[in-house]
C-alpha cells in the first residue's frame, strides 16, 4: 500500500528557550551544556508516531522518499541511532527524564531534514586574550548553536550553525592558527594551538563565547583495569596436569598489577579471588570506573592440536579467519553459564551499538595489542603467535582501548609445565607490563588534553 503524504517543510526557529516547528512551540531544556527537546513533541509536530519497546524508542514520520515514511530507532542513553536503516551518531545521547524522552537539539536537522532552519549569520567576532587563554565571542543573529570537538591535544573543531561572511579571525594567546570552512548555513572552524590545550563554549543571549586555554597537568594517574578470565564455576581451560586457566589468569593479573602500581598507575581487577563474574559485569566494571585501558588475561587451549604453543594478543573486531572466530567462540562460551543469560546477546542492535562503542578505540586497541605482542616477542621466549582480531564478548562495549591476552597453551604438556612455574607467570606479567608501558607513553600524551 502506498500512502501519499503532503510534503511539508517545517521552518525551525530556535529562540533562547523555545523551538518552533510549524505551528508547534516546544520548550528547550538545558541539561548542563546540552540542549534537549521532547522527542514526542517533535514527532507530533511532524505528524508522525512514536512508541517504546524497553529502552528502544521507535518513531515513524512522513518522508518524501519512495516509502513515504521514515523509521527511526533510538536507544535510551545511547548516541547511536538507526535512521532510515542507517547508523547515525547524535551529538549527545537520547535520554529519559521524568517520563519524557528527550532528543538533542543539535541533531534535529540531521535526523529530521524536513525541518528547515532559518539561516543565521555571524554578525561580529570579538576576541581578547588573558595570559595564554584566548576568548572569541561570536555575535549571531538569530542565536545559533554550536558543536565543539577535540581533534587532538593541539586542535579543536568548532561548528557553528550560522553563515560566516566576515574576514579571517586573528590568532591569539594559545591559538596559533584558525582555519575556516564556510558553508551555506553552518561554518566549520579548526583552532590550532601552540601547546596542548582545551576549549569550552558557552551560549550567551546574543551569541556564543569560546574560551581556549592550556591543559592543566593531569590530576590523577591513569587507571588500568585488569580482567583475569573465568573464575568460580567456570574454570576455563584445564591442562593434563590439572592446571586451571582461572587460577593462572588470576596469578598473572596480580603480578602484572604489582608492576603497574609500582610504575605509578592505578589498577583495579574485575575479580580478586576465585569467583564467577559475568562477561557483561567485567566490561561494566571497567566503564563504570572510567578505566583508561582494559586488559583481559587468559591462557589458551587447543583440543585439536596438542602441539599448539605460544603467546597471542587479540583486539575486538570481526574475526578474519576461521581460527580467530573459533577462538572467540571458545572464550564466549561462558555466556552459557551465566544465569540471567544476557539479554543483550541475542539483540543484534545492542551488539552493533556496543561494537561501535569499541570501534572508536579500534586503532588504539590494535596499537595496544601490538605493543604487548612486541614486548612479549622481545622478552618472553614463548612462541610468538602474533596480534589477532576476534569478536570477544568481554571486549564489546568497552569505552576504552581493550585487548585480550592469551598467555600460553595449557593443552601442550611442555607449555603447561612452564606455565605452572611462578617464574613463567612473572615473565608473562613483565612482558605485558612492558608492552602497556610503551603504549601508554604515547597514549598518555594524546589523552592528556581530554581531561
Using the structure block, give the residue that is written with the C-alpha cell 590530576: 219
**At closest approach, how far in Å is the CB of 340 from Zn ion?**
21
For Zn ion, which is the closer residue by CB, 140 or 277?
277
Find how far residue 418's CA is from the centre of its chain.
38
Task: Using the rule CB under 5 A, give the single segment among 174-182, 235-243, 270-278, 409-417 that binds Zn ion.
Answer: 235-243
Q: How far apart are CA 47 and CA 26, in angstroms?
A: 15
- Residue 336 half-sphere exposure toward CB, CA atoms < 13 A: 7
Task: Indicate whether 231 belongs to the interface with Zn ion (CB under 5 A).
Answer: no
Q: Which is nearer to Zn ion, 70 or 298 (CB)?
A: 298
Query: Using the rule CB under 5 A, is 104 a contact of Zn ion?
Result: no
CB of 42 to Zn ion, least distance (A): 47
Q: Which is nearer to Zn ion, 207 or 236 (CB)?
A: 236
Candidate ranges 133-141, 193-201, 211-219, 232-240; the one touching Zn ion (CB under 5 A)? 232-240
Q: Verify binding: residue 228, Zn ion, rule CB under 5 A.
A: no
Q: Between residues 282 and 298, which has the closer beta carbon with respect to Zn ion?
A: 298
Inter-residue contact 121 to 107 (CB < 8 Å): no
Smallest gap from residue 237 Cβ to Zn ion (A): 6
Instruction: Confirm or reject binding of residue 229 to Zn ion (CB under 5 A).
Output: yes
The grid cell for 195 is 601547546
Nearest to 396 by CA among 427, 359, 354: 354
| Segment contacting Zn ion by CB under 5 A, of 76-84, 121-129, 230-238, 377-385 | 230-238
**Shortest CB 298 distance to Zn ion, Å:** 3
Looking at beta carbons only, is 113 or 386 nearer to Zn ion?
386
Cβ neighbours around 324 below 10 Å, total:
17
Told to check if 298 binds Zn ion by CB under 5 A, we report yes
- Residue with Cβ nearer Zn ion (155 or 302): 302
Q: How far apart are CA 19 and CA 87, in angstroms?
A: 26
Q: How far is the CB of 228 from Zn ion (least distance, A)?
A: 10
Which one, 155 or 411, has the nearer CB to Zn ion?
411
Q: Going edge to edge, which strands form the sheet with 293-300? A: 266-269, 223-228, 293-300, 402-409, 311-316, 384-390
Distance linking the first and last C-alpha atoms of the chain: 53
> In the complex, which residue's CB is closest to Zn ion?
298
Beta strands 175-182; 187-193: pairing state: antiparallel
Shortest approach of Zn ion to residue 229 CB, angstroms? Answer: 4
Residue 422's alpha-carbon distances to 100, 298, 417, in angstroms, are 57, 16, 11
Work out which of 48, 236, 310, 397 binds Zn ion, going by CB under 5 A. Answer: 236
Residues whose CB falls within 8 Å of the CB of residue 321, separated by 6 or more in sequence, listed in order: none
Residues in the site for Zn ion, rule: CB under 5 A? 229, 236, 298
Amino acid at each position: 500500500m502506498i500512502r501519499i503524504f503532503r510534503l511539508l517543510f517545517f521552518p525551525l526557529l530556535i529562540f533562547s528557550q523555545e523551538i518552533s516547528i510549524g505551528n508547534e512551540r516546544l520548550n528547550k531544556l538545558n541539561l548542563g551544556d546540552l540542549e534537549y527537546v521532547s522527542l514526542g513533541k517533535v514527532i507530533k509536530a511532524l505528524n508522525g508516531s512514536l512508541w517504546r519497546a524497553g529502552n528502544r524508542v521507535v518513531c515513524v514520520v512522513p518522508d518524501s522518499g519512495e516509502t513515504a515514511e521514515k523509521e527511526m530507532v533510538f536507544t535510551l542513553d545511547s548516541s547511536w541511532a538507526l535512521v532510515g536503516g542507517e547508523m547515525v551518531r547524535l551529538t549527545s545521547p537520547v535520554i529519559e527524564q521524568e517520563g519524557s524522552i528527550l532528543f538533542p537539539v543539535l541533531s534535529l536537522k540531521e535526523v529530521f531534514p524536513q525541518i528547515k532552519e532559518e539561516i543565521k549569520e555571524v554578525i561580529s567576532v570579538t576576541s581578547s586574550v588573558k595570559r595564554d587563554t584566548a576568548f572569541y565571542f561570536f555575535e549571531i543573529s538569530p542565536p545559533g548553536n554550536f558543536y565543539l570537538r577535540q581533534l587532538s591535544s593541539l586542535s579543536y573543531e568548532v561548528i557553528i550553525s550560522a553563515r560566516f561572511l566576515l574576514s579571517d579571525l586573528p590568532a591569539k594567546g594559545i591559538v596559533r592558527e584558525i582555519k575556516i570552512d564556510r558553508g551555506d548555513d553552518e561554518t566549520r572552524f579548526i583552532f590550532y594551538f601552540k601547546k596542548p590545550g582545551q576549549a569550552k563554549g558557552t551560549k550567551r543571549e546574543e551569541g556564543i563565547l569560546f574560551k581556549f586555554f592550556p591543559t592543566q597537568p593531569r590530576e590523577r594517574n591513569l587507571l588500568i583495569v585488569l580482567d583475569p578470565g573465568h573464575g568460580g564455576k567456570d574454570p576455563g581451560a584445564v591442562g593434563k596436569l590439572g592446571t586451571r586457566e582461572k587460577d593462572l589468569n588470576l596469578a598473572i593479573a596480580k603480578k602484572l598489577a604489582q608492576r603497574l602500581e609500582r610504575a605509578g598507575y592505578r589498577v583495579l581487577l574485575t575479580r580478586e579471588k576465585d569467583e564467577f563474574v559475568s562477561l557483561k559485569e567485567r566490561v561494566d566494571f571497567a566503564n563504570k570506573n572510567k578505566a583508561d585501558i582494559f586488559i583481559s588475561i587468559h591462557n589458551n587451549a587447543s583440543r585439536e592440536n596438542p602441539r599448539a604453543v605460544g603467546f597471542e594478543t587479540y583486539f575486538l573486531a570481526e574475526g578474519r579467519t576461521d581460527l580467530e572466530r573459533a577462538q572467540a567462540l571458545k572464550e564466549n562460551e561462558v555466556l552459557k553459564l551465566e544465569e540471567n543469560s544476557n539479554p543483550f546477546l541475542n539483540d543484534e542492535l545492542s551488539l552493533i551499538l556496543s561494537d561501535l562503542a569499541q570501534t572508536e578505540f579500534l586503532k588504539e586497541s590494535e596499537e595496544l595489542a601490538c605493543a604487548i605482542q612486541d614486548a612479549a616477542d622481545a622478552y618472553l621466549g614463548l612462541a610468538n603467535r602474533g596480534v589477532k582480531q576476534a569478536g570477544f564478548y568481554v571486549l564489546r562495549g568497552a569505552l576504552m582501548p581493550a585487548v585480550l591476552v592469551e598467555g600460553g597453551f595449557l593443552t601442550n604438556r611442555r607449555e603447561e609445565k612452564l606455565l605452572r612455574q611462578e617464574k613463567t607467570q612473572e615473565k608473562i606479567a613483565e612482558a605485558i607490563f612492558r608492552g602497556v608501558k610503551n603504549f601508554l607513553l604515547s597514549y598518555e600524551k594524546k589523552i592528556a588534553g581530554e581531561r
